[in-house]
A and B are shown apart, each in its own frame.
Chain A
Amino acid sequence: MADKQKNIIEVKNLIKRFGDRTVLDGINLNVPEGKITVIMGGSGCGKSTMLRHLIGLHQPTEGDIYVDNENIVGMSEKQMNGVKRKFGMLFQGAALFNSMSVGDNVALPLREHTDLSDEIIQIIVKVKLELVGLTGFEDFMPYQISGGMKKRVALARAIALDPKIVFYDEPGAGLDPITASMIDQLILDLSQKLKITSVVVTHEMKSAFRIADQMIVLHKGKVLQVGTSEEIKNSSNSYIQQFINGEPEGAIPLKQTSEAYLKGLLES
């Protein structure tokens, strides 16, 4: 019998309200260490907001978030900076610094957070870029490389400090299917070879099923189901089935029925 899986992230009863609008409504979820967890759901379901809470960019209205056994809710900036050293983040648009070369982008966290000499930093940059298949691109500027390359540079930057966890916000968004699958393969490699925990937010089903060890489906700020790829694929939940199959009609109507429209019109 295998050891009980350790959870590196635990979210307990997370609620987030923006004014009167409740975006996250009592979320409970666990992220097992060393595995790939995919958080999915339709646009506006709260998955990006969820991710921003996990990386400390938002503070919840209620609830607790434990990252590596430390509650990051209400943490001071100094303490939070210590926690941030444990994770890297790949943003949807890569978020490379346009005024810096590819090499300087990857070197930035090393220069700011370590006392390593520039020679050592250059070696680490080379290694990280090689890991994402971009050897020799150190001197290129971000505007000189393609969208897929930018994502890979951003990934090299995210893993520059050898984090325990890497968060990915829509890693395949805006990329062609081949480049998107290359990014998926990189996520798998990082998980399998370096034992990095990955938390991926996406609504691309193909990619999600390819990489996920655990899937969490969000809908209207609540967790609809947690399970393996197989469990989600065979889910009896009509919303999940509609979402997986990309059907316009189903549990989530694309438009109002004529009766509902008429009723609304008469009431107004």
Chain B
Amino acid sequence: MRDFFGRIGENCAFVFSGVARLSGLLGEVISVIFRSFTQKKTIKAKHIFHQMVLMGVDSAGIICLVGISVGMVLALQSAYQLKQMGAEIYTGALVSVSVTRELGPLIASIVLAGRVGARLAAELGTMKVQEEVDALTTMGLNPIQYLVVPRCLSLVMVLPCLTVIADVMAILGGFLIGITGIGINPYLYLAKSFDPLVLKDIYSGLGKSGIFAMVVALVSCHQGLSVEGGAEGVGKATTQAVVISIVLIIVVDCLATAVLYYALPA
């Protein structure tokens, strides 16, 4: 019994210390961003654009593929249920609302947690192992300012854009299934898709994707910069970056949805 509670205590301490470290990193990132308003050369646009290409442009293809597939699956599964009530005409509405509110931001951020989160953790971890981070520090360059902030800002700018792409592709996937597989009139499908959509659905989805981007960037950079040891440490950090990012995305999504649609329904 004592062991059991001991283990619960240890795990809680582990979770809280992790949250504290991430909050500390977030604090440092925010302070660098504020400092950039008064000090020149704090953040370089060139670094941000370079990261945006690596994170965003290169991920657009895979986001399109996953987005269209999720839209198709969603349309197929929901039409099957709705047909039993003779309501398959509402398939488009179901797809568009669920995608813009939830699935678009979720799939875009989970794909990026795997693709970009792993890359960030491995890249920074290798830099740490090869003393490149120490070299930066010795040159008087703050690694948070030089490495973490451009990556965080790029991801926060890129993920909402990719979420829009995921939303559009998923709605398109649903549309293709709706007009071919289910046999709904294309004009009717589109009209029913956009009727129930309100701007809040889209804003909230994009807002959430911005928060998820920060989560992925902070977790991955933190894991990368905490690497100890050699190749094994880098491998472990990469895996943990992806796993922790995905778990946190889902937990934060749950909290954000509760706040956005239940605590602040208007």
- A contact set with B: CB distance below 8 Å: 55-57, 77, 80-81, 84-85, 87-89, 91-93, 95-98, 108-109, 112-113
Contacts and interface: CB of A to CB of B under 8 A. Distances in A.
Contact of A84 (B127, B130, B131, B138): B138
Nearest to B133: A95
A57 B138 CA distance: 8
Interface string B114-139: 00000000000001001110110111
Nearest to A109: B139
B139 A91 contact: no
B131 A95 contact: yes
19 contacts: A56-B137, A56-B138, A57-B134, A57-B137, A80-B140, A81-B140, A84-B138, A84-B139, A85-B140, A87-B138, A89-B135, A95-B130, A95-B132, A96-B132, A98-B132, A108-B139, A109-B139, A109-B140, A112-B140
A98 B135 CA distance: 12
B141 A93 contact: no
B131 A112 contact: no
B141 to A, nearest CB: 6
B132 A55 contact: no
Interface residues of B, number: 13
A92 B137 CA distance: 16
B142 interface: yes
Contacts of A95: 130-132, 134-135
B41 interface: yes
B127 to A, nearest CB: 8
A91 B141 contact: no
A93 B132 CA distance: 9
B138 A77 contact: no
A88 B131 CA distance: 14
Nearest to A89: B138
B132 A112 contact: no
B142 A112 contact: no
A55 B130 CA distance: 17
A77 B141 CA distance: 10
B65 to A, nearest CB: 28
A92 B131 contact: yes
A93 B139 CA distance: 16
A112 B135 contact: no
B219 to A, nearest CB: 22
Contacts of A109: 139-140
A55 B138 CA distance: 7
B135 A84 contact: no
Given A84-B140, A89-B135, A95-B130, 16 more contacts: A85-B140, A88-B138, A89-B138, A91-B131, A91-B134, A92-B131, A95-B131, A95-B135, A97-B132, A98-B132, A109-B139, A112-B139, A112-B140, A112-B141, A113-B139, A113-B140
A91 B130 CA distance: 9
Contacts of B130: 93, 95, 98
B208 to A, nearest CB: 32
Contacts of A113: 139-140
A164 to B, nearest CB: 14
Nearest to A167: B138
